[in-house]
Amino acid sequence: MKDKPKTSRFAVSINTDLLNEFNDLLKEKNYPNRSQAVQDIIRNYIIEEKWDEAENTMGTITMVFNHHKRNLTETLTKIQHDYNDEIISNTHVHLTHENCLEVIIVKGKGSKIRALANQLIQTKGVLHGKLTLTTAGE
Ligand code: NI
């Protein structure tokens, strides 16, 4: 039988407005309890920090943009060419008359992949963007 993991209690001082906002959000999301929520947030934070340090990560960058916007397609292509070692493949879907969806499969150092994703997503005219990182199992 697997042992139940040990738990610890700790006290935290936090801005009251911030805590109220957090409590409201948990209620909205039907979180079973605050301990569970804080635990999930800490776990995600640790995973994300480790991704940045990792030498060998894999993931996808998804973005939606309007290809009619002046120079946008060229800018996004130029950024991707700066990271040709990290980009494995790229799929472009013509979503609507003006909007395109692009999914880029990436592999490499976590911090470098995040830098690429940030550059693409922060480019003016990109309507939505998201980086999803996973591990190569090591
Ligand atoms: Ni397109």
Report the run of H or E that residue 97 belongs to, with start and end.
none
Q: How far is the CA of 43 from the centre of ligand 1 (A)?
A: 37
Residue 138 has pLDDT above 60, yes or no: no
Record the pTM. Answer: 0.70
CB atoms within 10 A of CB 76: 21
Q: How far is the CA of 57 from the centre of ligand 1 (A)?
A: 28
User: Tens of pLDDT along 111-137?
Assistant: 999 999 999 999 999 999 999 988 655
More confident residue, 20 or 53: 20
Q: How far is the CA of 84 from the centre of ligand 1 (A)?
A: 21
* Surface-to-core class of residue 66, CB atoms within 10 Å of its CB (0-12 exposed, 13-18 middle, 19+ buried): middle
Sequence-ordered strand ranges (E) for 1-138: 57-66, 87-94, 99-108, 126-135
Q: How far is the CA of 69 from the centre of ligand 1 (A)?
A: 12
CB atoms within 10 A of CB 110: 21
Q: Using CA atoms, how far apart are residues 52 and 134, in angstroms rounded to an integer?
A: 11
State percent of the chain over pLDDT 70: 96
